[in-house]
């Protein structure tokens, strides 16, 4: 017998390996109450079954409110993924530059202009990276000494928006918009 249990959550946001989160989470949003379908295919044959996710009968939240909450949580998840992908790209480029510089040095190939340009680019990318993510945090207590950055601030909105079954507040939308605007400034830096 095989068994599959769905926690009713959509996929998580992309993570930066070993990044320390302070109050933020990458967890995907829960599905809104409603009717869903599950499809199983084995040896080219499919079966489909419908099922319902019911809301807690003690809450008066409307379907529209649940949908607004879900939509905002998906936006937060997608923005968290976006910023983390930028961080991973920056780190990949820095690694490639450092590898090229090392290979040049090992092979005896000397090009001061290329080496200097590589160092300047790594420095520039590091400056951007340090605005997007706290690079100094290595343990859960480090955020006490090193403030959280934009990636963590965006991810922290998940807890605020999902803390209650209700329509998100205007402030939650405003905070996300402000944080995304700050991040986009760094995305466009040369």
Indicate the pTM of the whole model. 0.88
Domain contains 55 = yes
Q: How many domains does the chain have?
A: 1
- Summarised one tens digit per residue, pLDDT across range 135-186 is 998 888 888 889 999 999 999 999 999 999 999 999 999 999 999 999 999 9
Domain contains 97 = yes
Domain contains 177 = yes
> Is residue 190 pLDDT above 60, yes or no?
no
Domain contains 15 = no
Q: Which residue has the higher pLDDT, 104 or 9?
A: 9
Domain contains 23 = no
User: What domain range is 92 assigned to?
Assistant: 34-187
| Structure confidence at residue 91 as a pLDDT band (50, 70, 90) | very high
Domain contains 2 = no
Q: Which residue has the higher pLDDT, 109 or 86?
A: 86
What's the mean per-residue pLDDT of the chain? 93
Q: SS3 string of the chain?
A: CCCCCCCCECCCCCCCCCCCCCCCCCCCCECCCEEEEEEEEECCEEEEEEEEECCCCCCCCCHHHHHHHHHHHHHHHHHHHHHHHHHHHHHHHHHHHHHHHHHHHHHCCCCHHHHHHHHHHHHHHHHHHHHHCCCCCCCCCHHHCCCCCHHHHHHHHHHHHCCCCCCCCHHHHHHHHHHHHHHHHHHCCC
| pLDDT at residue number 107 | 85
| pLDDT at residue number 151 | 95
Domain contains 5 = no
| pLDDT at residue number 109 | 83
| Structure confidence at residue 106 as a pLDDT band (50, 70, 90) | confident
Question: What number is the average pLDDT over the span 50-78?
Answer: 96
Domain contains 153 = yes
- Summarised one tens digit per residue, pLDDT across range 116-133 is 999 999 999 999 999 999
């Amino acid at each position: 017998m095989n068994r599959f249990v769905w926690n009713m959550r959509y996929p998580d946001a992309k993570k930066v390996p070993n990044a320390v989160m302070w109050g933020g989470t990458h967890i995907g949003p829960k599905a809104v109450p409603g009717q869903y379908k599950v499809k199983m295919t084995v040896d080219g044959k499919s079966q489909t079954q419908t099922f319902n996710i019911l809301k807690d009968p003690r809450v008066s939240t409307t379907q529209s409110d649940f949908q607004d909450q879900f939509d905002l949580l998906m936006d937060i998840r997608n923005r968290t993924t976006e910023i983390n992908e930028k961080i991973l790209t920056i780190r990949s480029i820095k690694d490639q530059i450092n590898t090229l510089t090392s290979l040049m040095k090992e092979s005896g190939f000397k090009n001061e202009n290329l080496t200097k340009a590589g160092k300047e680019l790594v420095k520039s990318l590091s400056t951007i990276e340090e605005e997007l993510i706290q690079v100094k945090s290595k343990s859960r207590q480090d955020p006490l000494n090193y403030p959280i950055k934009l990636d963590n601030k965006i991810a922290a909105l998940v807890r605020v928006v999902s803390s209650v079954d209700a329509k998100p507040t205007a402030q939650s939308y405003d905070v996300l918009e402000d944080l995304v605007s700050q991040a986009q400034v760094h995305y466009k830096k040369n």
